[in-house]
């Protein structure tokens, strides 16, 4: 049962928080470093017009870029860590705005570099091949030359860099609206008891209750609170997307989808293959909801029933038990790999898992750059969903850790990292953990049912919700490209139509409230991030199967994938790990996994 009051941040036990002081001992120390960075960025400008002076100059440029990228990221990360765990900390918010501005200035000051390097052209390959100090930049140079057609003059690139800060503020406005300003009325259970409804990155906790009235009133409270702000949320979202459409036009891309996928050389056909497979396999979800309807014994299943538990008492999994199981599940990857997870989750305090008032929705793993570890934040609730989320985020963190150990910092540029590859690592951990618990037959029959239920929640999110949101984005950007009108009502209408198709006749929708789903996902502020979850989980399931079926060199290949994937194109990285994502089979297999889990659920639940 949810507690009536969350503790304030200063009441949280230190052992359940991350070691933020590892970066800076105080705001005063942060400010000293901030002032040093502001004055030092001019060192980057000294390279303007000089990058064509040979490999030595180029190596000096990369070294200087990496130095300041690390410094700026560290400054930003410290402020972000403070804000994300306590969105009522006004001092932290002020410093976070400073850090965002510094980030924008950094990209503005360095905007000259890409056009200059592209002007050098093919000679860069000779420099990289001749100078051992540049060997790690071969992929960077290859990508740079490949993207030359989409890079504009230094002046235009500088302007686009300057726009970065106000565009970031559009997302910050969304975050403030949904994390600080939005309020929810209490949900009410079947006995008339009130329960607080809180912000969530997944289904609000009330939707996980066995009490159907509690689920229904949670669904209504959560949706209605977003609907009350729909016009502001729509205006904000449309403004963000107008910027992306403008940038795509300026750079000469055919679409925002192409602009998002081209930097990582991910073919747009991967998107369309996913959508086609999603529509082809919708019947599997219809079957899932029908099985669930029978298990929870309702005449008609509704959206608020999708997450209903199918066991009377869900397993209690404390944080340290979760870490232990994750480590045991990943044991096939070796003691070194497991040791990194264990130390990060325990003595090194990478993870901030305490529930507290003012903590932002969601869960995430940070990039690791230099002495900044791959910190994780989430709200851990001692349940199987929290356990799964922790497994997911440690997957990200291990990839970030290995990347930081083996590649220059320039490969950590979030603008060119592949979301689909990132989501492979995270979902790989979930798949391995689930396989371990099933293989070892942990717990009793009800525990095994709970594992299947969590797996279905996860697959529902990544193979149903995310592709549906992807289709929504595709329609929104298509309308923007055609200069067609957009407003809250139109966004809602698009969303309703897509869910109506997805639900079919199996599930009785609540279209007025389903309509606002688009506003509940911050993922949409990074265009076409959503579909890459589905691609990533498809690759992850194939790789986990390779490990558990003792495929030769599968573990070594996977670790090599973590080390090198940021300096490879996604298709090549997946092949290195052992899966060919240019073919439809991995995605088709993911839907087969979904179908198989439904089969198991039917057997265990009867």
| 244 within 8 A of 164, measured Cβ to Cβ | no
Average pLDDT over residues 350-377: 92
Position 261 scores a pLDDT of 93
Does residue 1 register a pLDDT over 70?
no
Average pLDDT over residues 155-164: 85
Q: Whose CA is closest to 203, among 223, 233, 225? A: 223
Residue 364 host element (H or E): strand 364-365
> Would you state the structure tokens that stand for residue 471, as one six-digit string?
């289709």
Position 166 scores a pLDDT of 82
Average pLDDT over residues 64-88: 95
Position 5 scores a pLDDT of 64
DSSP string for residues in 543-564: HHHHHHTT-TTHHHHHHHHHHH
Q: Given pLDDT bands bounded at 50, 70 and 90, which one contains residue 441?
A: confident
Residue 352 host element (H or E): strand 351-352
Q: Whose CA is closest to 65, among 41, 89, 90, 31? A: 41
Question: For residues 474, 476, 478 and 484, what is the CA-based torsion angle, rounded to 10 degrees?
Answer: 170
Does residue 244 register a pLDDT over 70?
yes
Average pLDDT over residues 175-195: 93
DSSP string for residues in 271-306: HHHHHHHHHHTHHHHHHHHHHHHHHHT-SS--GGGT
Q: Whose CA is closest to 190, among 206, 166, 175? A: 206
Q: Does domain 10-170 have CATH number 1.20.140.70?
A: yes
Average pLDDT over residues 383-397: 94
Average pLDDT over residues 254-265: 94
Does residue 323 register a pLDDT over 90?
yes
Q: Given pLDDT bands bounded at 50, 70 and 90, which one contains residue 603?
A: confident
Average pLDDT over residues 64-82: 97
Q: Given pLDDT bands bounded at 50, 70 and 90, which one contains residue 3?
A: very low
Partnered with residue 194 across adjacent β-strands are 188
Q: What is the pLDDT of residues 477-534, one digit of tens each?
A: 999 999 999 999 999 999 999 999 999 999 999 999 999 999 999 999 999 999 999 9
Average pLDDT over residues 249-255: 96
* CATH code for the part of the protein at 271-315+385-606: 1.10.1370.20
| 44 within 8 A of 109, measured Cβ to Cβ | yes
Give how far Cα 453 sits from Cα of 107, 235, 306, 330, Å.
45, 37, 11, 22
Domain limits, the chain = 10-170, 271-315+385-606
Alpha carbon distance 298, 438 (integer Å): 29
Question: How many Å is the Cα radius of gyration of the chain?
Answer: 24
Q: In the sheet where 351-352 sits, what is the strand order?
A: 351-352, 376-377, 364-365
Partnered with residue 187 across adjacent β-strands are 195
Task: Give the helix ranges, DSSP H, for 264-415.
Answer: 268-280, 282-296, 319-329, 335-345, 384-406
Q: What is the pLDDT of residues 540-578, one digit of tens each?
A: 999 999 998 889 999 999 999 999 999 999 999 999 999
């Amino acid at each position: 049962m949810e507690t009536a009051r969350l503790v304030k941040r200063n009441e949280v036990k230190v052992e359940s928080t991350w070691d933020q002081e590892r970066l800076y001992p105080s705001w005063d120390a942060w400010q000293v470093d901030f002032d040093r960075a502001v004055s030092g960025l001019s060192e980057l400008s000294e390279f303007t017009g000089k990058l064509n002076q040979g490999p030595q100059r180029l190596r000096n440029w990369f070294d200087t870029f990496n130095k300041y990228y690390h410094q700026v990221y560290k400054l930003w990360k410290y402020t972000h860590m403070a804000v994300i765990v306590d969105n009522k900390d006004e001092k932290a918010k002020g410093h976070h705005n400073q850090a965002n501005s510094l980030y924008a200035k950094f990209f503005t000051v360095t905007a000259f570099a890409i056009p200059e390097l592209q002007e050098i052209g093919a000679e860069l390959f000779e420099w990289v091949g001749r100078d051992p100090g540049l060997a790690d930049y071969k992929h960077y140079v290859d990508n740079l030359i490949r993207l030359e057609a989409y890079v504009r003059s230094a002046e235009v690139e500088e302007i686009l860099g300057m726009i970065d800060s106000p565009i970031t503020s559009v997302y910050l406005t969304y975050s403030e609206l949904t994390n600080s300003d939005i309020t929810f009325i209490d949900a009410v259970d079947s006995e008339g008891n009130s329960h607080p409804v809180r912000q969530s990155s997944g289904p609000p906790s009330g939707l996980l209750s066995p009490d159907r009235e509690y689920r229904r009133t949670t669904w209504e409270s959560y949706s209605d609170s977003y609907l009350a702000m729909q016009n502001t949320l729509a205006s904000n979202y449309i403004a963000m997307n107008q910027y992306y459409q403008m940038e795509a036009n300026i750079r000469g891309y055919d679409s925002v989808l192409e602009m998002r996928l081209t930097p990582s050389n991910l073919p747009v056909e991967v998107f369309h293959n996913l959508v086609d497979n999603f529509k082809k396999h919708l019947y599997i979800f219809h079957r899932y909801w029908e099985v669930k309807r029978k298990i929870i014994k309702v005449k008609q299943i509704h959206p608020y029933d999708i997450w209903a538990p199918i066991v009377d008492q869900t397993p209690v999994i404390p944080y340290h038990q979760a870490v232990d199981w994750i480590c045991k599940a990943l044991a096939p990857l070796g003691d070194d790999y497991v040791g990194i997870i264990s130390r990060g989750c325990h003595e090194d305090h990478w993870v901030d898992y305490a529930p507290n008032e003012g903590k932002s929705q969601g869960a995430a793993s940070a990039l690791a750059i230099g002495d900044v570890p791959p910190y994780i934040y989430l709200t851990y609730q001692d349940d199987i969903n929290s356990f799964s989320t922790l497994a997911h985020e440690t997957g990200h963190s291990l990839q970030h850790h290995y990347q930081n150990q083996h590649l220059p910092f320039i490969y950590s540029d979030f603008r060119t990292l592949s979301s689909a590859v990132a989501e492979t690592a995270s979902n790989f951990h979930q798949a391995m953990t689930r396989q371990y618990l099933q293989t070892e037959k942990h717990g009793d029959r009800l525990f095994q049912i709970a594992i299947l239920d969590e797996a279905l929640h996860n697959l529902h999110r990544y193979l149903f919700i995310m592709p549906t949101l992807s289709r929504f984005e595709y329609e929104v950007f298509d309308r923007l490209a055609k200069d067609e009108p957009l407003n809250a009502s139109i966004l809602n209408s698009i969303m309703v139509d897509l869910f109506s198709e997805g639900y079919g006749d199996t599930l009785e929708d609540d279209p007025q409230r389903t309509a606002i789903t688009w506003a509940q996902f911050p993922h949409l502020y990074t265009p076409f991030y959503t579909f890459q979850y589905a691609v990533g989980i498809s690759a992850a399931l194939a790789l986990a199967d390779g490990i558990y079926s003792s495929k030769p060199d599968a573990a070594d290949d996977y670790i090599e994938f973590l080390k090198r994937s940021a300096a490879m194109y996604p298709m090549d990285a997946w092949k290195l790990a052992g899966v060919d994502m240019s073919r439809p089979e991995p995605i088709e297999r993911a839907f087969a996994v979904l179908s198989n889990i439904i089969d198991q659920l039917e057997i265990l639940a009867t």
